[in-house]
Structure 1
């Protein structure tokens, strides 16, 4: 009697240090920042910058922040990703096997793929858990999968879900989380803060030089700019705003987490920290902030947006800064992941 073919599903997220201690943080930073798609400069220059400047000086500072982030379950990025894996497995049932791999550190993409290989899966569906495609996130994860699988004797059918910035379920989940706060209190304004990347990476990905790195260029989402990270961020924002019934003057899009102090090339603008410092002067006192570049809470959401930006806003005269948590294990999001798999 023939058995039903088993489909493998590989969820990929960025990764996290094995612990918040300085050696583990330094190890994580070195692996992450030595990736040629993350810091896209010649290898010798990248090596000197990462190992001579960033890792030695940033690791102790980052360690302190990770210790604030760590809780009884460990790193939120890791355990929320594990929860998503478990819940998606329950939704999909016995005809699927869901594995989790982190691009940097553990569990590795290699170990997750080996898990699927040993299950003798008929095909693999890879979901990079970055809503908006960028070479430094989705691109490097996809490349890693292909590098590993290319060495297998038997290579199954593989498909990639490499962006879902405008997926209806993704949008509805963000809106549902935001609405839960809006029903309890009033806000003057809404900030959508995305992880930043260097402008040069946007231009390198531009199809035929189409990119203008301007709000005019990103005001529409189309075939030409569908892989432009900035354009995807604006499209996500427009769709969430529409779902929440927000006018254009009620929300702002900005970008965070830039390495401007160490890398002189400009990063995509506007910068979140600069934008929110000016808001109280314009009468904006109460803000609900979203981080739609992430599907699980992590250092960039909980600490940077939730705490550091709150301090900047309040020091500038703001009264209330509220972070809307990431998708984490929201039921709509888990259903959305299931739908992605079934459509593939």
Structure 2
């Protein structure tokens, strides 16, 4: 029997192709009309996104992307391409590797086609989201399956669901944090992308979600797919690696869209509370993002910094994400090897 030929598909969220209004419009429309992102009935979602959100947000979003853009383009896409190349080199080009964006380019379909052109028998789908959420990992998995829905030949598909407390990933984040003098900060924030509370509840088969203040503090059989619980687990693993006592740090959630309740506490609220408590210097980790992007560089690095300074703070620093750190590429390969039976070449 011939050996399986395995390929690796890395998937991140996406970015406009260019920091121009038409590209930002196109990106926001594709992103926000995804039923796993805004989980409303189809017509309500279309009216909300096309009639309100995009017309009201696209102009400002375009300015933010222009602020984010570098000579290499979108940082998220740039680092994704670098990680793809480094992973190819790590495996000595024995396993084809492609990078895709859930929204816009390079598309999942194009990446899948490239892998199939290389005659792979199995695709290992590795989402660049450490914590599972239907709106991110779930949507990416669904799109991969959609690509094959009308094809004659469907390879074996292996989905890496999450790796929110994997020691190899935690070590890289912790090492990035150790580049800072942790003792010089009054408090440390672990700020994750937010998620509507209704989506947290939908992921709970036991109806325990949000029924107690500590329901997310420990992973159980009921909340093992809870995004919030996985975020808290990531924080706990990082705090342990950094030897932080509980009073030294807070888990919080950013990037809320709309007025519906989202995962709490909100990062903006914690900033106010820390300022009122007299804190002057804050350090922020963003462990939901393995590559720096709009939410880290702009939202934390500029907007939250301005907000904290206006509240009387003196300093707020952002710990760089994993980006193209060789340790992170090694961690990806380690996670894959632990979760998947890799065929030797």
Q: Same fold (TM over 0.5)?
A: yes
Equivalent residue, structure 2, for 1:222: 220
Q: Is the 8 A contact 1:131 1:293 kept in 2?
A: yes
Q: CA deviation at 1:182?
A: 2.3
Equivalent residue, structure 1, for 2:269: 274
Equivalent residue, structure 2, for 1:195: 193
Equivalent residue, structure 1, for 2:39: 40
Equivalent residue, structure 2, for 1:6: 5
Q: TM-score, normalised by structure 1?
A: 0.96
Partner of 1:207: helix, strand, or coil? Answer: coil
Equivalent residue, structure 1, for 2:343: none
Equivalent residue, structure 2, for 1:296: 291
Q: CA deviation at 1:280?
A: 2.0
* Aligned pairs, number: 339
Structure 2: gaps (5+ residues): 341-345
Equivalent residue, structure 2, for 1:316: 311
Deviations 1:189-239 (Å, cap 9, x if unpaired)?
A: 100111011100000110221212654111212222111000000000000
Partner of 1:211: helix, strand, or coil? Answer: coil
Partner of 1:273: helix, strand, or coil? Answer: helix
Report the Cα distance in structure 2 between the residues aligned to 1:297 and 1:116, rounded to whole angstroms. 26
Q: CA deviation at 1:50?
A: 0.5
Report the Cα distance in structure 2 between the residues aligned to 1:234 and 1:108, rounded to whole angstroms. 31
Partner of 1:218: helix, strand, or coil? Answer: coil
Q: Is the 8 A contact 1:128 1:161 kept in 2?
A: yes
Equivalent residue, structure 2, for 1:186: 184
Equivalent residue, structure 2, for 1:243: 241
Q: CA deviation at 1:265?
A: 2.1
Shift in CA distance, 265/282, structure 1 to aligned 2, threshold 3 Å: same
Equivalent residue, structure 2, for 1:257: 255
Q: Is the 8 A contact 2:203 2:223 kept in 1?
A: no
Partner of 1:165: helix, strand, or coil? Answer: coil
Which stretch has the larger CA shift, 279-288 or 138-147? Answer: 279-288
Q: Which runs of 4+ in 1 moved over 6 A?
A: none
Q: Is the 8 A contact 2:86 2:326 kept in 1?
A: no
Q: CA deviation at 1:311?
A: 0.8
- Please list, as runs of the form range in 1=range in 2, the aligned pairs for 1:167-178 lying within 5 A after superposition: 167-178=166-177
Partner of 1:209: helix, strand, or coil? Answer: coil
Shift in CA distance, 219/37, structure 1 to aligned 2, threshold 3 Å: same
Deviations 1:75-134 (Å, cap 9, x if unpaired)?
A: 001000111111111111232000011000000000000001110012110001111100
Q: CA RMSD in A?
A: 1.3
Equivalent residue, structure 1, for 2:280: 285
Does residue 1:330 correspond to 2:319, yes or no? no
Shift in CA distance, 129/213, structure 1 to aligned 2, threshold 3 Å: farther
Report the Cα distance in structure 2 between the residues aligned to 1:234 and 1:146, rounded to whole angstroms. 30
Report the Cα distance in structure 2 between the residues aligned to 1:43 and 1:121, rounded to whole angstroms. 36
Q: Is the 8 A contact 2:291 2:322 kept in 1?
A: yes
Q: CA deviation at 1:149?
A: 1.7
Shift in CA distance, 89/151, structure 1 to aligned 2, threshold 3 Å: same
Equivalent residue, structure 1, for 2:123: 124
Q: TM-score, normalised by structure 2?
A: 0.95
Report the Cα distance in structure 1 between the residues aligned to 2:267 and 2:213, rounded to whole angstroms. 15
Report the Cα distance in structure 2 between the residues aligned to 1:319 and 1:267, rounded to whole angstroms. 28
Which stretch has the larger CA shift, 8-17 or 152-161? Answer: 152-161
- Please list, as runs of the form range in 1=range in 2, the aligned pairs for 1:90-105 lying within 5 A after superposition: 90-105=89-104
Partner of 1:210: helix, strand, or coil? Answer: coil
Q: Is the 8 A contact 1:169 1:336 kept in 2?
A: yes
Shift in CA distance, 28/325, structure 1 to aligned 2, threshold 3 Å: same
Report the Cα distance in structure 2 between the residues aligned to 1:214 and 1:137, rounded to whole angstroms. 26
Does residue 1:212 correspond to 2:210, yes or no? yes
Q: Is the 8 A contact 1:278 1:316 kept in 2?
A: no
Structure 1: gaps (5+ residues): none
Partner of 2:129: helix, strand, or coil? Answer: coil
Deviations 1:243-286 (Å, cap 9, x if unpaired)?
A: 000000000111110112xxx32111111011102212212111
